[in-house]
Every structure is written in C-alpha cells, then in structure tokens.
Amino acid sequence: MAMIFTPKGLRQAQAKLLQGNVLNKNGSAVSRIELTDEKEPSLTAVIGKRSITLYSKATRGKRIQLGKLGESDMDDRKWVSKVREQAFQNRIAIKNAKRENRAILSNSTLVTPGELPLIDYLDEYYYKGIFNSRKAKPQKNSKSQKAMRSHFGSFMHKKLVEVTLQDFDHWKENYGKPVIDSFAGTLTKPGVKDVTKERYFKPLDAVFNFAVRCGHIPRNPFLDQEGNKPTFIDDKEDAGRPLTREELERLKVILESRHIRDRVFCLMSLATGARPCELMGISLNDIDFSRKRILLRAAFTKTKKTRYLQISDKTADMLRDYIEVENVDSILYNSERWLFRNYRKGPNYGQRMKEFRRPWNSIKSAAMIDNRLYDLRHTFAKEIYTQKKDIVITSRALGHSSIKTTENYLSTIGVNLTEEILNLDSLLY
C-alpha cells in the first residue's frame, strides 16, 4: 500500500489496525501493516499496534531503521520531512555506489553526476529525485525539459561543473533582444522583459539547488561571492506601474471604440481590482445584482479561496447592459455561460476567454501607453488606498491573504499618500 506520509495519516492507519479493520487475503485481522511513501518510494513505514517505525531501503533487500514516530523532540511533521529527506539521500548514495561498481567492473572511467551534461542530468537525477515529481508524470517532465531547452539551449550540453555566473550574465544580456527592421526602422519583434526572464530562470536555478543538496556540485554557480542570487529588476517600480491621469483618460477614449467585451473587461479590472484570471472565471450566475457583488470561485483565484467582489451601482448597470447586448443573438438565455467568452462556438456555449493578450496589445498601442494588463489592478490598488487610507480595506479589496502582502504590493507600485482623494466612478464612467 502507498500513501503520502503525514503524522495524522500514519496514526489513522494505526487506529484502523487496532480496531481490526485491516484484513489479509484470508479475511483475518493482521497484526501489522507496511506502507510506502508516495513522495519518496525508498521510505517505508511498518505500523504495529504499539509503534510506527520508518525505514529506508538499502541494498540486497535490507533496510535501515530511521526512527519511530513520536519519539523525537522535533515536531512530528518536521520529523517526517527530515526522515523523507534522509531516505532520499540514502537512495542517491546507493545509486551512486552502484554506478561506481559498474564502472569498476567494466574497467571504464567513472563519470560523476556533476560531470554529466545538463540535458542528461535532468533525466538521470533531477526528474527522478525531486519529491514533488512522481514517476507517473513523464509528460510533465518532458514539457519542462522542452521549455528549458528552448530558453537555455547553450546550457543543455554543458557539464554542471562547467556552468559559471558569466554564462548566466551572457544569457541575461543577449536572450530575447528586440528585433528591429534595419530598412524600415520599425520593431518587428518585441524583446523579452526582465520579469519574463526571471520566470524562465527559476526552474534552471532549482536544478542547480537540487544538485548542491545532493552533493553533485559544491556550489550553485548562479550565486555571487556574497551568496546572493542574480537580480532581474533593479527598480521596484518596473515591476508594476499604475496608470497616470492622462494615460487613464486616453485609455477611456480608446475603449469607447472597442468591442463591448473588451471594453467591459478593462473597466471591470479598473473598477474592482480583480486579477485577469479571476475575471475570466466569472459566469453569469456568479453575479448577484441584488447584493451588488460577484462570486470569484476558488478554482480561479490566486489564493485558491472563494471571495466576493463588491461592485458599484454604475458597474452593475454596465454589466446589465453588457449581458443584454451579449444575449441579443442568443436563442436561449444561458445563466451558466461565461461572462467573458471567446467566439469560437455558438452564443450559448462559447468557451471562456483564456487570455486577453491580443486585445490588450491593440488597446494599449492605440492609447499610447506601455502598461501591462496587470497594471489596471495596480491602478485600482493605488486609488482605493488613496481614498480609504486603510490597509485592511485595501487588502480585502485586492484579495490578499495577509496585510504584509498588501504593504509590499503598495510599496512596489509607489503609492503616494499625499495625492488627493479621487472618486473611482468619476474616473471610469
């Protein structure tokens, strides 16, 4: 039997054993059971009526006792995590020993893990060793390796021990440069922003952290002499910039001539501060006009918790008009339909809109602004805090899980507390 080892789960299994609910093939109660951890297959637990003992598999069918649950001074959850890590280290050591023995028997030169090319190391060690990646997920591993090869092609055939910080600096400087037509002098391909480069870099950094933890390389090559990781954004304001008054006015003018779906989507983002993914997950029956609120389901929120958006009277009127226009060509009104949908299928059964990239690029180009779609949420955050002067209200409106998150958020977008109080409705409608 297999399960993810937790103190609660192991004790529940022991309780079933004591109650006589665990039977063998003959239908009689057993005196002990043996389980395997799903996160670390070399970790096993022997559960008896008096104790729960954890073992790590060794060579030739033997196993090493790692301890008993409840006998350590540590917290039980931390102890289980520590034992899982120890079992993993034992498994890696056994694998290295077997590799060394095979090399000696075949009279070949031993290749240590750190001397493997990165592309081979991913298959031989990384994808098989990380705790959160199970053997039954080859598609996930293949997709991850394909993405790494696309972004870090120059790293793939280099040995782990040969990768240096200079290699990374060269990649950061040259990867994703904008392409300009030399004849026309126009931009034919936009460059990759530092925020995107940082997202690409994190999986690669995780591979080298894993190699250090396993003892395959002495140090992460991406750390400087002081042990700091490379920075991608020097100025915090580059991470998010609210729209100015002039930019907001230009945006409103452009939205008047756009498709009603695109116009309402942008105004909803400005009026509620909802994340784009949250707006795309709204269906018609999630809107409660009587209470003037919208349900955001947990499947579409960043915190994976259900929350509500409060809307003003003008926002509610805008949504009523939008829904009425959207249902003009419908044969039957469907309350299960997505609020923001694409038009690949019929009016009643259209799939939900999954991205707003193309419409937003067209809108911001016409409005002569260089903001991201997410900056509409930053604009809402700045205006709501300027009005209320209350960090708690702002945190709830943004759907943050803690006040600390909101404080960091506001400092990142450069909130000016001396700015005059504004009315959001007067800015938007």
Q: What is the CATH number of the domain that holds 290?
A: 1.10.443.10
More confident residue, 318 or 101: 318
pLDDT at position 4 is: 86
Cα separation of 391 and 407, whole Å? 8
Cα separation of 425 and 419, whole Å? 17
In a domain, 107, yes or no: no
What the block records as the tokens of 224 is 């400087």
Q: How far is CA 182 from the centre of its chain?
A: 39
390 band by pLDDT with thresholds 50, 70 and 90 = confident
Read off the amino acid at residue 376.
L
Beta strands in 198-352 (DSSP E): 287-288, 293-296, 307-310
Phi-psi region of 304 (alpha: psi -120 to 50; beta: other; left: phi over 0): left
Weakest-pLDDT range from 212-216, 337-341, 374-378, 409-413 = 409-413
Q: Which of 41, 72, 101 is the last residue of a domain?
A: 101
Query: Looking at the structure, do residues 299 and 404 belong to the same domain, yes or no?
Result: yes
Average pLDDT over residues 148-166: 84
Q: How many folded domains does the chain comprise?
A: 3
pLDDT at position 270 is: 93
Q: What pTM was estimated for this model as a whole?
A: 0.51
For the segment 28-85, what is each residue's pLDDT rounded down to a tens digit?
888 888 998 988 888 999 999 889 999 998 876 788 899 999 888 888 999 999 999 9
422 band by pLDDT with thresholds 50, 70 and 90 = very low
SS3 63: strand
pLDDT at position 168 is: 84
CB-CB contact of 195 with 161 (8 Å): no
Instruction: Mention every residue, 6+ apart, whose C-beta is less than 8 A from residue 375.
Output: 240, 241, 242, 243
Task: Count the alpha carbons within 13 Å of 393 in the hemisphere toward its beta carbon.
Answer: 12
In a domain, 140, yes or no: yes
Gyration radius of the chain's alpha carbons? 28
Cα separation of 264 and 382, whole Å? 21
CB-CB contact of 409 with 398 (8 Å): yes
Q: Which of 101, 133, 148 is the last residue of a domain?
A: 101
Average pLDDT over residues 281-302: 91
Query: Looking at the structure, do residues 252 and 322 belong to the same domain, yes or no?
Result: yes
In a domain, 106, yes or no: no
What the block records as the tokens of 390 is 């209350």
Query: Looking at the structure, do residues 402 and 327 belong to the same domain, yes or no?
Result: yes
Partnered with residue 36 across adjacent β-strands are 2, 44
Q: Compute φ and ψ for 341, nearest 5 degrees.
A: -125, 160
CB-CB contact of 255 with 277 (8 Å): no
Query: Looking at the structure, do residues 308 and 401 belong to the same domain, yes or no?
Result: yes
Q: Which of 50, 69, 101 is the last residue of a domain?
A: 101
Q: Domain range holding 129?
A: 113-234
Candidate ranges 97-111, 161-175, 189-203; pick with highest mean pLDDT: 161-175
Inform me whether the pLDDT recorded for 134 exceeds 80.
Answer: no
Read off the amino acid at residue 262.
D
Query: Looking at the structure, do residues 384 and 306 belong to the same domain, yes or no?
Result: yes
Query: Looking at the structure, do residues 230 and 147 belong to the same domain, yes or no?
Result: yes
Query: Looking at the structure, do residues 408 and 278 belong to the same domain, yes or no?
Result: yes
pLDDT at position 236 is: 44
